Amino acid sequence: MTDIGDLLKELRLLKRLTIRDAAQAANVSNAYLSQIETGKKGAPSAKHLRRLAEVYGVPARELFEIAGYLDEPEIHESEDDQINRAFDFVMADSRFAAGTRIKQGLTLDAKRYIVETYEKVTGARLLGLK
């Protein structure tokens, strides 16, 4: 299972934000965010997780699950939905989307390939299909 601090740091780095920039955008202190990322503090409040999810462009529910706020995980999304969500995340990454011109009309297999390539290049894990 992923640690919430590690995940928040990974998401911040994917967005190429400094701790100060991310903290300011989420209206939390940079010292607090740093302590969460390094594991010196536990999971942030739901209010702070919502703000961080917005800054990082991820569903707040995913952060809530990893932080342990939800007793039951959400009914798992379909494989197609998961690929489309991951593809949208990749396209939102300015480092990657700049060289990508075709965004619509791609097959699901093409989207999966792009997401898997992104995962290999960045080390991020967007698909949990294994």
Max Cα–Cα distance, the chain, nearest Å: 45
Q: Give residue-wise pLDDT tens across range 25-46.
A: 999 999 999 999 998 998 888 8
Distance CA 113, CA 81 (A): 15
Is 0.75 surpassed by the pTM of this model? no
pLDDT tens per residue, range 100-116: 666 568 888 988 888 88
